[in-house]
Chain A
Amino acid sequence: MKNLTLGRYIPYNSPIHRLDPRIKMFSLIILMVAIFIKFTNVPMNFIMYGLIFAIILILMAMSHIGLFTLFKQLKALWLMILFLLIINVLMPNTGAFFKVWFITVYYNAIWQTLYIVIRLILMVGLTMVLTTTTRPLDLTYAIEWYLAPLKVIKFPTHEIAMTISIALRFIPTLLDETNRIMKAQESRGVDFKNGKLKEKIRAVVSLIVPLFISAFQRSEELANAMEARGYDPSAKRTRYRVMQWKFRDTVALVLVLGFLAGVIVTSVMHLDFIVLLTPIVNIILGWF
């Protein structure tokens, strides 16, 4: 339950918070793509990952999210990361290798593994920036906007968006109700933490059944209330919350697309920064 606070929306008035949710979502996808692009050689890969990480840090600083939050989020995944590390490092691969006892470790395997772990960290970081700076409801509106073209094939975009927004509104209410039912059953001798498997199953049943029944009754009453207030998904409706694309969103779009273009060029043209920058570094050092 406590883990729900990680990645949760934190209200603040940062530049990132104020961006249109549509551009934020778009940027997330673009940057995710950038993470998976392959570069010239091993050092280049690490340089590019470092660059993306730097971008994430900047975004986090701009959105007032502490680095600490990222670490906490990753801490939850440390087991998975460790598992990935061990499995992948021991995989057979090509190229140079060294031996530890009877275990053969390929350098390439080490790089591949590090790539996987770093990509994971970057993805988690990026997603976290999105979720902490964007209200779930705004994300829903963005998704609805992106799915709008599907209305042509009669895809129920509006209904889905409405369902999601109502579900989001009820999350705190449902959590409260779960808590209440748990307490009521605990008063009847149920132990949700300890006990044999059979007892635990009974315990879960005594929680799930009332929740479901209550959810069904709730939906019926909600549907009645919505109908009584004139709701008709197929009829025309106006909208209160409207997303407004501002100049800053265009700026963000340009930056993101520019970055993607740069990344693609670097990859396709097999650029190697070290090779390119060495002469320049030498010139600068020569001045001293």
Chain B
Amino acid sequence: MEILKLVDVSYSYDGKKNVINHVSLSIEAGKYVSIIGHNGSGKSTLAKLILGLLEAAHGTITIFDKELNDQTVRELRQRIGIVFQNPDNQFIGSTVRDDIAFGLENRCVPHSEMERIINEFANKVKMEEFLDKEPSNLSGGQKQRVAIAGVLAMHPDIIIFDEATAMLDPKGKREIHEIAMQMRVENPGLTIVSITHDIEEAFDSDEVIVLNEGEIVMRGTPADVFSRKEELLKVELDLPFVYKMRNALLKEGYDVKDIMTVEGLVAYLCR
């Protein structure tokens, strides 16, 4: 079932150059899709267009079979959750509790339910011990976890991670990635769109879309996309380590063409 569909969408900030240039794509429900591209390729603009924070100059965006426009945007936003890049600039509440509550307040969740929901989702992201802490006492990774809790509490059908780990240290990156994987297991129907330039993160997804200069240049499973080394380099992207190692071993004459995992390579070499 197609949950998100863009048809010939274009957007420009200055009216001259298209940051998103006639992009068409569709995403199926329940999939984990990574959209990768170098900084400036238009990835974040795409996220904002889907959320209706920006209005496409051209083309249509259809979500849950409804066309995105002024009348439908509020309703559609209720079913999409987004975690932005800057941990501070999406933390609105004065404490963790208040921030998770913010979304609930907007949704007119009855007061009597709020405490239970806040505790439930703080637990899900392992922030239950920090409920009364202020954001200035939290690390970037912790703030992003709170953002995720706030998003999950709304029971969205789609979650978009808009470069959510770009400003985090390796530990923080890992925490967020683990939660995303956990979400995938616990909510099989949830569609996850991960916008990133971190190539290792894209490795676990069902599908990879490569963006460059506002256009889709490649699309397929990770195995497909990452075996096209030359094209990736041309759009200034790197290869995940596994593929680099695989290519290096291929050059040395090892027959590892069909192996796409670290475990596979290790097993092969140590047989």
Contact = CB atoms under 8 A, between A and B. Distances in A.
Contacts of B89: 218, 221-222, 225
Given A231-B106, A240-B105, A173 B90 contact: no
A228 interface: yes
Given A173-B136, A224-B48, A227-B53, A237 B90 contact: no
B86 interface: yes
Contact of B92 (A173, A226, A238): A226
- Report the contact-size class of chain B (Cβ under 8 Å from the partner): 35 or more
Interface of B: 48, 51, 53, 74, 77-78, 80, 82, 84, 86, 88-94, 97-98, 101-111, 114, 118, 134-136, 150, 154
Given A166-B92, A221-B86, A172 B136 contact: yes
Interface in A211-230: 218, 221-222, 224-230
Given A225-B84, A229-B150, A169 B92 contact: yes
Interface string A236-259: 111111100000000000000000
Given A169-B94, A169-B135, A230 B77 contact: yes
Binding site secondary structure of chain B: helix
A239 B92 contact: no
A213 B114 CA distance: 36
13 contacts: A168-B94, A169-B93, A224-B51, A224-B53, A225-B90, A229-B154, A230-B106, A237-B106, A238-B104, A238-B111, A240-B97, A240-B98, A241-B98
Nearest to A237: B105
Interface residues of A, number: 27
A176 interface: yes
Contacts of B105: 237-240
Given A227-B53, A228-B77, A230-B78, A240 B101 contact: yes
B74 to A, nearest CB: 7
A240 B111 contact: yes
Contacts of A137: 94
B134 A229 contact: no
A35 B150 CA distance: 48
Interface string A189-220: 00000000000000000000000000000100
Contact of B74 (A165, A230, A239): A230
Nearest to B137: A172
A1 B121 CA distance: 37
A222 B135 CA distance: 14
